A and B are shown apart, each in its own frame.
Chain A
């Protein structure tokens, strides 16, 4: 991926997050890369409290897009918008426009259950069901009535999650008997088994040891060929290792420090973010000076 002719047009005001907003639509070079998500001025409020404001970015097909930033900047809130998991919180309100393959994800006729069939999610703490490994994977296809031999579906999902060899002899044992890394790969396999289009990962490796983390990162790079992945991560090295595009968010405070919300500062190719970021705050964060 080259970036000689790709200059982001943005003007910086003296005070952050007001006046002219930088545009993160990479139309000039995305070319034939299809946009999976188009976010336009997305804001999320929990009741009256803002969580994120004015998020605008495009997520591209077969990319791994990373969201990085300090704690509390709304990365999880943002990623949960993408598969309408925020609907489960009664006080959450999402404003702005979110297009998924050109369709409004929050349109009046859109069923959140259908959305989640196509946009899957892996959570921070592995959450396998209290059932056997086989039933964990089979739950999704059974519910969604996916056709095919269930044994084959389960095997295929476990193979793609690089878990098959480790568990093929104990498919009917309790999923809780596995290690944390295995459980998380089980959750990924469970997600793949329903054949989604996008996989969202909310800090998938933060509860795991480095070896398991490495296995899951390798897995992500493989999965990228068939799915689009959005990952929230605290680990900057991980973002640098696996992602194609990185969005850097920070926490903004009102003058009286009563309200805090998250905003995007920069969204660009990973290489640029980590080697030559445009915003000094990005540079401070990725070099470890702050956060």
Chain B
């Protein structure tokens, strides 16, 4: 090929490229490196502040409540005197309420998410409206759900009275949008090729969903449930409104008849008092609550690990 101009051009370009690359093998320009370091430090600071906040809370509660630690905290019923009081009735009440919440919200949340992701036709306007509404409902303040529960569950159509079942239903409504959103994300993350593969074998839509999509989405769904139920665990404002009584001395044994109290409600009551013994008891209660949440989440994380698949 005779093309002296082109050949010369090529030679220059190659020589130029080679020299540039050798220079770049050296270290980065100083400004970029410093910027990178600053950014890394800022991110570390963010993590540090978050953890520090949590640690301070925990340590503060443990110090304040140190005098009351003991088995009695878990086994003594709530009582009118600060010295004799434990948290047993509150713990039992919380377990009843949260048990009910899990029982109602998990099937409803997963079912709604499956319908919206697998069966609903996105083009229909009412499905888009439902989607918008669920996003909004997740942001509604919890006290509003308390008012709703008071009007419909405690009084009104259901007239359950001030019982644990009413609390379960109210809190279920509160956390349902969160579960639906998290479950939908998880279901959406299952690759469409899995569904196609199952359908191509002659499975029905439900068989595909039940045997392939849902098991693959379980880890993400469980994460969403952990977050949502933990939130319900700590709610006190709506429960105060719908009649979680304080100083319930007998353990709740019947969720539709007995009075009940929950840990957050009880602790909230203690903190409102002046005497230091109550404050000490309240701090101890915080630690009790954290232990319970940790136990509950550990079970859920164990469940999630069992279902974890590697992609």
In the complex, are the beta carbons of B310 and A116 less than 8 A apart? no
Report the minimum CB–CB distance from A116 to chain B (whole Å).
Answer: 4
Residues of the B chain whose Cβ atoms lie less than 8 Å from the Cβ of A117: 201-202
Q: Is B71 engaged at the interface, CB distance under 8 Å to the other chain?
A: no
In the complex, are the beta carbons of A125 and B193 less than 8 A apart? yes
The residue from B123, B196, B197, B202 contacting A90, defined by CB atoms under 8 A apart: B123
Q: Given A116-B200, A140-B201, A144-B202, is A176 in contact with B310 using a C-beta cutoff of 8 Å?
A: yes
Q: Which B-chain residue is minimally distant from A122 (CB atoms)?
A: B200
Residues of the A chain whose Cβ atoms lie less than 8 Å from the Cβ of B203: 113, 139-140, 143
Q: Is A249 engaged at the interface, CB distance under 8 Å to the other chain?
A: no
Report the minimum CB–CB distance from B206 to chain A (whole Å).
Answer: 10
Residues of the B chain whose Cβ atoms lie less than 8 Å from the Cβ of A78: none
Greatest chain B CB density within 10 A among A85, A118, A128, A129 is at: A129
Stretch from A14-22, A28-36, A186-194, A236-244 at the B interface? A186-194
Residues of the A chain whose Cβ atoms lie less than 8 Å from the Cβ of B207: 143
In the complex, are the beta carbons of B197 and A143 less than 8 A apart? no
Q: Is A212 engaged at the interface, CB distance under 8 Å to the other chain?
A: no
Chain B 205-238 interface 0/1 with A at a Cβ cutoff of 8 Å (1 = within):
0010001100010000000000000000000000
Residues of the A chain whose Cβ atoms lie less than 8 Å from the Cβ of B193: 123, 125, 127
In the complex, are the beta carbons of A139 and B211 less than 8 A apart? yes
Q: Given A130-B194, A143-B207, is A85 in contact with B199 using a C-beta cutoff of 8 Å?
A: yes
Task: Tell me, in angstroms, the Cα distance from A118 to B197 when the chains sit together.
Answer: 14
In the complex, are the beta carbons of B202 and A114 less than 8 A apart? yes
Residues of the B chain whose Cβ atoms lie less than 8 Å from the Cβ of A176: 310-311
Q: Is B198 engaged at the interface, CB distance under 8 Å to the other chain?
A: yes
Q: How large is the interface on A (under 10, 10 to 19, 20 to 34, 35 or more residues)?
A: 20 to 34
In the complex, are the beta carbons of B311 and A116 less than 8 A apart? no
Residues of the B chain whose Cβ atoms lie less than 8 Å from the Cβ of A130: 194, 216, 309-311
Chain A 160-177 interface 0/1 with B at a Cβ cutoff of 8 Å (1 = within):
000000000000001010
Q: Is A290 engaged at the interface, CB distance under 8 Å to the other chain?
A: no
The residue from B123, B196, B201, B309 contacting A191, defined by CB atoms under 8 A apart: B201
Q: Is B204 engaged at the interface, CB distance under 8 Å to the other chain?
A: yes
Q: Is B131 engaged at the interface, CB distance under 8 Å to the other chain?
A: no
Task: Tell me, in angstroms, the Cα distance from A144 to B201 when the chains sit together.
Answer: 9
Residues of the A chain whose Cβ atoms lie less than 8 Å from the Cβ of B310: 130, 174, 176
Task: Tell me, in angstroms, the Cα distance from A238 to B123 when the chains sit together.
Answer: 41
Q: Is B121 engaged at the interface, CB distance under 8 Å to the other chain?
A: yes
Report the minimum CB–CB distance from A78 to chain B (whole Å).
Answer: 16
Report the minimum CB–CB distance from A160 to chain B (whole Å).
Answer: 16
Q: Which A-chain residue is minimally distant from B190 (CB atoms)?
A: A130
Q: Is A83 engaged at the interface, CB distance under 8 Å to the other chain?
A: yes
Q: Which A-chain residue is minimally distant from B205 (CB atoms)?
A: A113
Q: Given A90-B123, A139-B211, A140-B202, is A127 in contact with B197 using a C-beta cutoff of 8 Å?
A: yes
Residues of the B chain whose Cβ atoms lie less than 8 Å from the Cβ of A90: 121, 123
Residues of the A chain whose Cβ atoms lie less than 8 Å from the Cβ of B194: 127, 129-130
Chain B 162-203 interface 0/1 with A at a Cβ cutoff of 8 Å (1 = within):
000000000000000000000000000001011011111111
Task: Tell me, in angstroms, the Cα distance from A130 to B308 when the chains sit together.
Answer: 10
Residues of the B chain whose Cβ atoms lie less than 8 Å from the Cβ of A113: 202-204
In the complex, are the beta carbons of A83 and B200 less than 8 A apart? yes
Report the minimum CB–CB distance from A172 to chain B (whole Å).
Answer: 14
Task: Tell me, in angstroms, the Cα distance from A184 to B201 when the chains sit together.
Answer: 15
Task: Tell me, in angstroms, the Cα distance from A59 to B199 when the chains sit together.
Answer: 23
Task: Tell me, in angstroms, the Cα distance from A113 to B200 when the chains sit together.
Answer: 8
In the complex, are the beta carbons of A127 and B216 less than 8 A apart? no
Residues of the B chain whose Cβ atoms lie less than 8 Å from the Cβ of A265: none
Q: Is A121 engaged at the interface, CB distance under 8 Å to the other chain?
A: yes
Q: Which A-chain residue is minimally distant from B121 (CB atoms)?
A: A90
Q: Given A90-B121, A174-B310, is A123 in contact with B196 using a C-beta cutoff of 8 Å?
A: yes
Q: Is A88 engaged at the interface, CB distance under 8 Å to the other chain?
A: yes
Report the minimum CB–CB distance from B197 to chain A (whole Å).
Answer: 4
In the complex, are the beta carbons of B196 and A194 less than 8 A apart? no
Residues of the B chain whose Cβ atoms lie less than 8 Å from the Cβ of A181: none
In the complex, are the beta carbons of A123 and B197 less than 8 A apart? yes
Q: Which A-chain residue is minimally distant from B211 (CB atoms)?
A: A139
In the complex, are the beta carbons of A143 and B211 less than 8 A apart? yes
Report the minimum CB–CB distance from B127 to chain A (whole Å).
Answer: 13
Task: Tell me, in angstroms, the Cα distance from A129 to B198 when the chains sit together.
Answer: 8
Q: Is A120 engaged at the interface, CB distance under 8 Å to the other chain?
A: yes
Residues of the B chain whose Cβ atoms lie less than 8 Å from the Cβ of A190: 197, 201
Residues of the B chain whose Cβ atoms lie less than 8 Å from the Cβ of A83: 200
- A residues adjacent to B (C-beta < 8 A): 83, 85, 88, 90, 113-114, 116-118, 120-121, 123, 125, 127-131, 139-140, 143-144, 174, 176, 187, 190-191, 194
Q: List 29 A-B contacts (CB under 8 A).
A: A83-B200, A85-B196, A90-B123, A113-B204, A114-B202, A116-B199, A116-B200, A116-B202, A120-B201, A123-B200, A128-B197, A129-B198, A130-B194, A130-B310, A130-B311, A139-B198, A139-B211, A140-B202, A143-B201, A143-B202, A143-B207, A144-B202, A174-B309, A176-B310, A176-B311, A190-B201, A191-B200, A194-B201, A194-B202
Task: Identify the 4 closest CB pairs spanning chains A and B, nearest first.
Answer: A117-B202, A127-B193, A121-B200, A130-B309
- B residues adjacent to A (C-beta < 8 A): 121, 123, 191, 193-194, 196-204, 207, 211-212, 216, 309-311
Extra pairs beyond A129-B197, A139-B198 (18, CB < 8 Å): A85-B196, A85-B199, A116-B199, A118-B202, A120-B202, A121-B200, A128-B197, A130-B216, A130-B309, A131-B309, A143-B202, A143-B207, A144-B201, A187-B197, A190-B201, A191-B200, A191-B201, A194-B201
